[in-house]
């Protein structure tokens, strides 16, 4: 079987790289020229104002990164050593690591096909098994909001609070309200690959003044109001730099433009893949408007060629009319375009393998990969482990907003060629 060949891209097509506009440099220079080169200054104040205004929360505290914001959110939520915390399972590990920083035990809640986010049915199940849990960490993956209303009402019924990880979903709304504004505490990120960036940085979001003040204090080494360095509490060096804040400040006016570009990319893929045995990640949802951060696709089960993934390596067997994420990603890489596997679910990660994992029909006991890869299916005939299934069949496509239409057309042709 001879597959079509293409000219490699001269300039690499990235998954999602920073897109600068010029104003970033102006604010960075301003920090330099006024010598506000530390973790205090006008850019930081402005980032906090802009973020709170955009998200629709009362306070945003500018921090060194989204992970730092999540760490302080977990501290605010009062997680203590030994406490179990329900967490999104198919997410980036920064969503859950902060629980462990505080000595908590993440209990992973399986994913649903509808939004590729936390399954409310599995969450309800988890509360049956662990009624004592008081904190739920929910991520909105790839810019698609999860079913936050349903999750909220389940949490309310069980007296638990939500920590909302909106690192990937800045600007996305659920029933007209911004993601990041739902949880008792929310978090956004300005990491280099996010929808807008400061090169790094993040914010903690809350409506609670006391919480915001605490986080500001913790993030600056918990200094007390004394003439010398006086400390009553454990502190952290988590504050955002005023130079970084200059970049974020310069990016903010372009958030909506970036979202519009990402939306066009998503729609061009969807159009271009018509006729292929694939589906795009869920972005057309009744209750939400995503920010289209990453375009992803999932291959229909019957059109998957054979693919085996170990802990570090992967192999596949090419088959006519079929493909798999490994083949598509390797083919894209061959032509200098960057895709990525779906974020490998936390319950499949060696570090979290023995943590409890709850599926919609599961019994909540820690499961090993061997158990699940047996291909267990639920009463509806669908795979019981949804996260693992999406990981096996799905992939993230090059979603850089500087990619031209011609470049994207070539990416589409390259993906199509994998099915020849």
Ligand X SMILES: *Cc1c(COP(=O)(O)O)cnc(C)c1O
Interface contacts to ligand X, rule CB under 6 A: 65-67, 91-92, 94-95, 139, 165, 167-168, 189, 191, 202
Distant-in-sequence, close-in-space partners of 355: CB < 8 Å, separation ≥ 6: 105, 106, 107, 108, 346, 347, 366
Q: Nearer Cβ to ligand X, position 91 or 331?
A: 91
Q: Nearer Cβ to ligand X, position 186 or 383?
A: 186
Report the nearest approach of ligand X to the CB of residue 193 (Å).
Answer: 7
Distance of CA 404 to the CA centre of its chain: 25
27-32 LR contacts (CB < 8 Å, sep 24+): 27/245, 27/246, 27/247, 27/249, 27/250, 28/243, 28/246, 28/247, 28/250, 29/246, 30/246, 31/242, 31/243, 31/245, 31/246, 32/243
Q: Nearer Cβ to ligand X, position 191 or 295?
A: 191
Pairing type for strands 288-289 and 394-396 reads: unpaired
Report the nearest approach of ligand X to the CB of residue 66 (Å).
Answer: 3
Q: Nearer Cβ to ligand X, position 59 or 92?
A: 92
Query: Which residues on adjacent β-strands are paired with residue 60?
Result: 205
In whole angstroms, give the CA distance from residue 390 to residue 2: 29
Q: Nearer Cβ to ligand X, position 294 or 384?
A: 294
Q: Nearer Cβ to ligand X, position 292 or 419?
A: 292
CB neighbours of residue 83 within 10 Å: 18
Report the nearest approach of ligand X to the CB of residue 319 (Å).
Answer: 33
Report the nearest approach of ligand X to the CB of residue 344 (Å).
Answer: 13
Are 101 and 71 contacting, i.e. CB atoms less than 8 angstroms apart? yes
Tell me whether residue 131 is exposed, middle or buried, using C-beta atoms within 10 angstroms of its C-beta: 0 to 12, 13 to 18, 19 or more: exposed
Phi first, then psi: give them for residue 90, nearest 5 degrees: -90, 95
Report the nearest approach of ligand X to the CB of residue 293 (Å).
Answer: 9
Report the nearest approach of ligand X to the CB of residue 87 (Å).
Answer: 11
Q: Nearer Cβ to ligand X, position 181 or 307?
A: 181
In whole angstroms, give the CA distance from residue 79 to residue 146: 23
Report the nearest approach of ligand X to the CB of residue 68 (Å).
Answer: 7
Helix axis angle, 242-251 relative to 42-55, nearest 10°? 40
> Which residue has the closest beta carbon to ligand X?
66
In whole angstroms, give the CA distance from residue 365 to residue 355: 9
Are 161 and 134 contacting, i.e. CB atoms less than 8 angstroms apart? yes
Report the nearest approach of ligand X to the CB of residue 13 (Å).
Answer: 20
Q: Nearer Cβ to ligand X, position 204 or 289?
A: 204
């Amino acid at each position: 079987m001879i597959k079509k060949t293409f000219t490699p891209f001269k300039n690499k097509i990235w998954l999602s790289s920073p897109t600068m506009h010029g104003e970033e440099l102006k604010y960075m220079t301003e920090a330099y020229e006024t010598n506000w080169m530390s973790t205090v200054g006008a850019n930081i104040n402005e980032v906090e104002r802009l973020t709170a205004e955009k998200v629709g929360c009362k306070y945003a505290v500018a921090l060194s990164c989204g992970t730092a914001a999540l760490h302080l959110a977990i501290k605010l939520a009062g997680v203590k050593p030994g406490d179990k915390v329900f967490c999104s399972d198919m997410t980036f590990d920064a969503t859950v690591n902060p629980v462990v920083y505080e000595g908590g035990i993440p209990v992973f809640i399986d994913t649903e096909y509808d939004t590729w986010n936390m399954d409310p049915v599995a969450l309800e199940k988890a509360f049956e098994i662990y009624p004592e849990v008081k904190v739920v960490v929910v991520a909105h993956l790839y810019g698609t909001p999860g079913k936050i209303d349903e999750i909220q009402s389940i949490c309310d019924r069980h007296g638990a609070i939500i920590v909302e990880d909106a690192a990937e979903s800045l600007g996305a709304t659920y029933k007209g309200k911004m993601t990041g504004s739902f949880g008792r505490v929310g978090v956004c990120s300005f990491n280099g690959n996010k929808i807008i960036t400061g090169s790094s940085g993040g914010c903690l979001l809350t409506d609670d003044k006391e919480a915001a003040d605490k986080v500001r204090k913790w993030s600056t080494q918990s200094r007390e109001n004394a003439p010398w360095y006086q400390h009553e509490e454990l502190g952290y060096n988590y504050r955002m730099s005023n130079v970084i804040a200059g970049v974020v400040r310069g990016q903010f006016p372009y958030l909506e433009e970036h979202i519009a570009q990402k939306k066009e990319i998503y729609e061009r893929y969807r159009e271009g893949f018509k006729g292929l045995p694939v589906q795009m990640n869920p972005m057309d949802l009744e209750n939400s408007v995503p920010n289209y951060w990453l375009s992803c696709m999932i291959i229909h089960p019957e059109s998957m060629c054979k693919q085996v993934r170990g802990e570090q390596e992967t192999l596949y067997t090419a088959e006519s009319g079929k493909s798999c994420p490994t083949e598509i990603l390797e083919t894209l890489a061959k032509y200098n375009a960057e895709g990525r596997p779906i974020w490998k679910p936390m319950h499949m990660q060696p570090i979290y393998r023995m943590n409890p994992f709850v599926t919609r029909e599961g019994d909540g006991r820690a499961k090993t990969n061997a158990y699940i890869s047996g291909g267990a299916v639920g009463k509806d005939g669908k795979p019981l482990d949804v996260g693992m299934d999406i990981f096996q069949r799905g992939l993230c496509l090059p979603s850089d907003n500087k990619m031209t239409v011609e470049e994207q057309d070539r990416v589409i042709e390259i993906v199509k060629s994998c099915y020849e």
